[in-house]
Amino acid sequence: MRGPRRRLPALPALLWLALAPLPGAPGPAARAELRVRVRLPGGQVTEESLQADSGSDCISLELRTADGALVTLTADFRQEVKIFRALILGELERGQSQFQALCFVTRLHRNEIIPSESMAKLRQKNPRTVRQAEEVRGLEHLSMDVAVNFSKGAQLSSHIHNVCAEAKEAIYTREEDVKFWLEKGVDGSMFEVLPQTSDLPDLQRCKLCADRWKPCICSYSLSIEWYPCMLKYCKSRDAGGKVSSYKCGIRSCQKGYTFDYYVPQKQLCLWDEET
């Protein structure tokens, strides 16, 4: 497997302003919002919103994709939960509603993204600069084989109630992540295993299914085009020659995801068709 592809570093995009707290001393709770201009794969430029709340220990990123979908990523560090939401424009001429909402909930691993406290300290040097990620991380392909009950989802993360309000019947996660959360004491009654091809031999991928009213396995892809994925550290030497390191900036990344999940009818997955 290939390692991450690297792009040439972008021009200095963000400036670290606040000093890091002393070891063992938590910094004051802070909220911050940052808007950056990022370039999409087709060359279009869009605005991405980044919000951080160190008090609730979460961050949120939101951007509009080239096809008009609104994609949101919420990282709940306290609960180790990551929530992707997509608001997809519907095809009215094909009987769909104005938009369709999807939520994908996965485990948040350490070092995937910088901490909320660090995010809250970022400022831009030049807000008009178009940003491009310094590192392209590999595509992640996830099989979302479990449904999450919206009314009980707050036990998993309090952010599900707000983020997934438009997707009450379309919240998905993975069985392997469910096992991790169950070990942490989360109530298992909020999860329901979805039908798979092993249960229904006739179950096809939606792009191969000719009947719009038959169940199938849908596939949806999204990309977070720019996000702070790592902290950068610089070194300094005091008068006595002792070397110490301090936080002095961030490294930016881009990462794509493809989610496979069960739908009761292909009508709910019209974007996933053979071309």
Per-residue model confidence (pLDDT) at position 173: 98
Which percentage of the chain shows pLDDT scores above 90? 59
- Name the phi and psi angles at 188, rounded to 5: -75, -10
> What letter does residue 168 receive in the DSSP assignment?
T
* Range scoring the smallest mean pLDDT among 11-25, 135-149, 257-271: 11-25
State the pLDDT confidence band at 169, using cuts at 50, 70 and 90.
very high
Per-residue model confidence (pLDDT) at position 275: 43
pTM: 0.84
pLDDT tens, position by position, 36-84: 999 888 888 999 999 999 899 999 999 999 888 999 999 999 999 999 9
Using CA atoms, how far apart are residues 20 and 222, in angstroms rounded to an integer?
34
pLDDT tens, position by position, 84-132: 999 998 776 666 667 899 999 999 998 899 999 988 888 877 888 999 9
For the CA atoms of 88, 164, 38, 118, the dihedral, rounded to the nearest 10 degrees, stands at: -170
pLDDT > 70? residue 215: yes
Using CA atoms, how far apart are residues 98 and 85, in angstroms rounded to an integer?
16
Residue 66 falls in which region: left (phi positive, over 0), alpha (psi -120 to 50) or beta: alpha
Q: Rounded mean pLDDT of 213-226?
A: 94
pLDDT > 50? residue 238: yes
Per-residue model confidence (pLDDT) at position 196: 81
* Range scoring the smallest mean pLDDT among 37-46, 119-128, 135-144, 182-191: 119-128
* Range scoring the smallest mean pLDDT among 61-65, 233-237, 265-269: 233-237
| Residue extents of the structural domains in the chain | 30-266
Averaged confidence pLDDT in the chain: 85
Per-residue model confidence (pLDDT) at position 5: 40
